[in-house]
Amino acid sequence: MNLIRSYIKHLLLELEGGPGVEQQIGIGKNYHTLNPEPITWENFPGLEYDLNSEGDGNYWASVRDLDNPENDTPLRKFADEHSAMFWIRNQFDILHRRKLDSQ
């Protein structure tokens, strides 16, 4: 019985690489591109964001449009990181739709 368990454990480690090893293919992967990493809102081409924190717990955020600088957002102050990231993601969506509409 122990021989079977050790053999199954060996097979699982061989197939999956074991815990903590990055998998090549998994849930949420994109199979239709050369880069199989998941595509998220942070991967929109031509958009970047800056997020900085102060010692008092406040956060400053801005979003930049690399192709069209007049769409850049001014620096905004937030009470916490979650609020700042929520605002950044919404601005990414707005600017991404604006970029798609202009094409």
**Residue 26 identity (one-letter amino acid):** G
Sheet holding 59-65, edge to edge: 47-53, 59-65, 76-78
Which secondary-structure segment (H or E) carries 94? helix 81-102
Per-residue confidence (pLDDT) for residue 9, from 0 to 100: 75
Per-residue confidence (pLDDT) for residue 43, from 0 to 100: 82
Per-residue confidence (pLDDT) for residue 41, from 0 to 100: 84
Per-residue confidence (pLDDT) for residue 15, from 0 to 100: 59
The parts of the chain modelled with pLDDT lower than 70 are 11-37
Rounded Cα gap, residues 78 and 84, in angstroms? 6
| Residue 37 burial class via C-beta count within 10 angstroms: exposed 0-12, middle 13-18, buried 19 and up | exposed
Per-residue confidence (pLDDT) for residue 80, from 0 to 100: 93
Over residues 58-78, the pLDDT tens digits come to: 999 999 999 989 999 999 999
DSSP state of 72: P
Per-residue confidence (pLDDT) for residue 62, from 0 to 100: 96
Q: Which two tokens stand for residue 58?
A: 């406040």
Per-residue confidence (pLDDT) for residue 29, from 0 to 100: 56
